[in-house]
Amino acid sequence: MAGRKDFDLFRVSEEHDMLRESVRALAEAKIAPFAAEVDEQSRFPQEALDALTANDLHAVHVPEEYGGAGADALATVIVIEEVARVCASSSLIPAVNKLGSMPVMLAGSEDLKRRYLGAVARGDGMFSYCLSEPEAGSDAAAMKTRAVRDGDSWVLDGVKRWITNAGVSEFYTVMAVTDPEKRSKGISAFVVEKSDEGVSFGAPEKKLGIKGSPTREVYLDNVRIPADRIIGEEGTGFATAMKTLDHTRVTIAAQALGIAQGALDYAKGYVRERKQFGKPIADFQGIQFMLADMAMKLEAARQLTYAAAAKSERGDADLTFHGAAAKCFASDAAMEITVDAVQLLGGYGYTRDYPLERMMRDAKITQIYEGTNQVQRIVMARNLPK
Ligand code: CAA
């Protein structure tokens, strides 16, 4: 697997190409056959989790020293992209494992890293990320969940909303207020386990897309955790949460790329087969122009995403702009491309007998989560390139 060292280019290496080939083969054989059913039944893609875990692809970002595959940020993007190409819900397994565990990687003590990164790498449990609340979505610092120190423990109380993979994950990074006077500087991050007393979950949200990935509320009712489960220093949780998103917005861009590529590949095959007016509709220039535009937007989004992945790997100072730009651009491109792909199939694209309408519904979430694209523009405007 492509490694972390000497990562000074964003050129896709031979190792990255080989990784793509093997993930594509696995995704087509073991994940694609269940994608429509998972969507139709709104059920968790257990087959995907099993296949990804068996091939050490469920949390590729975990460094080798903690028992992980040690994939660099570009390799992680490629894994997510290839899984999303066949099933967006399943791609949330490697993506959210990275999101949930990134705060520990960035700011956790050595002991937390060893315990939790090791567990995720072994496949003992997935890791979710709990930032949003009913009244704190885009305005994340307005959160109300409280963490109060009590001797050797922290006691957490509150409600987290829109938590991806909630209920199936074993581990949760929870951002909570430790000093209400200080707004963002009074927020701290903690690791909470599903088995901690007082943790429970709401009913799964009934969503437009990514129906295979459960999105639920997480209730924290007097949850007492050992003091050493704080991630970093008290008051640093909001900064850690934002730094995490700088890295993981790149993974949402990857997901958007994968969904768009899946839609383009399917539509390309269809227009070559479908005959009207005595010839394949691919022979008409109107169709060719649509395909050209779709491929152009996709490639532009890919280049921006891979450049952002290289910045994520290197920890460049301008990652904040580039992570937001990649997520914003790639998700907008994926929306346009999937809408056009549905159009290319005409009436068939609008039915559930074909995968395009699912891809179009799945693409929509990439414009919304890990910060709406309006928030991405706020982030970009505050961090314009020099
Ligand atoms: N890196 C490091 N520190 C950062 C940072 C970054 N990128 N961004 C902010 N900070 C720190 C800074 O220390 C800053 O304080 P200073 O004044 O000392 O610089 C402090 O945080 C506060 O920052 P802001 O003043 O910029 O905070 P704000 O209240 O204006 O909010 C925001 C900024 C960009 C709108 C932020 O609230 C935000 O990103 N909102 C969107 C939240 C989001 O993305 N939610 C997604 C949930 S996760 C999800 O969707 C997952 C899923 O389902 C898969």
Closest residue by Cα to atom 22, ligand 1, is 184
Q: What is the CATH number of domain 127-234?
A: 2.40.110.10
337 lines ligand 1 (CB under 6 A): no
Residue 184 in contact with ligand 1 by CB distance below 6 A: yes
Name 187's bridge partners: 177
| CA 275 to ligand 1 center in whole angstroms | 51
Phi, psi angle pair for 146, to nearest 5°: -110, 145
Our mutation pick for probing the ligand 1 site, out of 106, 236, 242, counting the most ligand atoms within 8 A of Cβ, is 242
Q: CA triplet 313, 256, 4: central angle to 5 degrees?
A: 15
Question: pTM score, two decimals?
Answer: 0.97
Tell which atom from ligand 1 comes closest to the C-alpha of 320.
7
The top-level CATH class assigned to 238-382 is mainly alpha
Would residue 344 be called left, alpha or beta, if left means φ above 0 and alpha means ψ between -120 and 50 degrees? alpha
Phi, psi of 13 (to 5 degrees): -80, 170
* Dihedral over Cα of 69, 74, 79, 84: its sign: positive
What is the whole-number distance in angstroms between the Cα of residue 166 and the centre of ligand 1? 22
Q: Which DSSP symbol is given to 133?
A: B
Question: Homologous superfamily of 14-122 in CATH?
Answer: Acyl-CoA dehydrogenase/oxidase, N-terminal domain (1.10.540.10)
Q: Where are the domains of the chain?
A: 14-122, 127-234, 238-382
Please tell me the distance between residue 298's alpha carbon and the centre of ligand 1 in angstroms: 28
- Tens digit of pLDDT per residue, the chain (386 long)? 555 544 455 678 999 999 999 999 999 999 999 999 999 999 999 999 999 999 999 999 999 999 999 999 999 999 999 999 999 999 999 999 999 999 999 999 999 999 999 999 999 999 999 999 999 999 999 999 999 999 999 999 999 999 999 999 999 999 999 999 999 999 999 999 999 999 999 999 999 999 999 999 999 999 999 999 999 999 999 999 999 999 999 999 999 999 999 999 999 999 999 999 999 999 999 999 999 999 999 999 999 999 999 999 999 999 999 999 999 999 999 999 999 999 999 999 999 999 999 999 999 999 999 999 999 999 999 999 98
Q: Residue 6: its pLDDT value, please? A: 46
Structure tokens at 212: 């295979």
Task: Name the region of 42 (left: φ>0; alpha: ψ -120 to 50; beta: rest).
Answer: left
- Cβ neighbors of 159 (< 8 A, separation 6 or more) are 133, 134, 145, 217, 218, 219, 220
Q: Give the model's pLDDT for residue 336.
A: 98
> With contact defined as beta carbons under 8 Å apart, do 131 and 143 qualify?
yes
Q: Which residues make Cβ contacts (< 8 Å) with residue 337, sequence separation at least 6? A: 260, 263, 264, 294, 297, 298, 363
Rounded distance from Cα 142 to ligand 1 centre (Å)? 11
CA 195 to each of CA 159, 170, 191: distance values in angstroms, whole numbers, following the listed order? 17, 8, 12
Burial environment of residue 235 by CB neighbours within 10 A (0 to 12, 13 to 18, 19 or more)? middle
